[in-house]
Structure 1
């Protein structure tokens, strides 16, 4: 459970840094999001999940 909470904490830290350091970049990216095809968004999400699982697998063994 502590590993899960640590992961959530790191996620919140990274999200907070994005909002704190580059809010205008985030707003511009949000404006472009509706124009990206749904399939491309799904593919990006799936690739992100696979990379995340692979990294956890490598680190945790």
Structure 2
């Protein structure tokens, strides 16, 4: 499902060039904010950390 959504988003950004520029601008603005980077890293790492800790208790 995520692959389909990512593909649709990518196709939309390529098909409509102004949206691509807007997405790059927003992405750059968000990526330069340390709290946003920390939040994204937490979202990415949380499932892996939770699985690893769960295995310690088994």
**TM-score band, normalised by the shorter chain?**
0.3 to 0.5
State TM-score, norm by structure 2.
0.38
State TM-score, norm by structure 1.
0.37
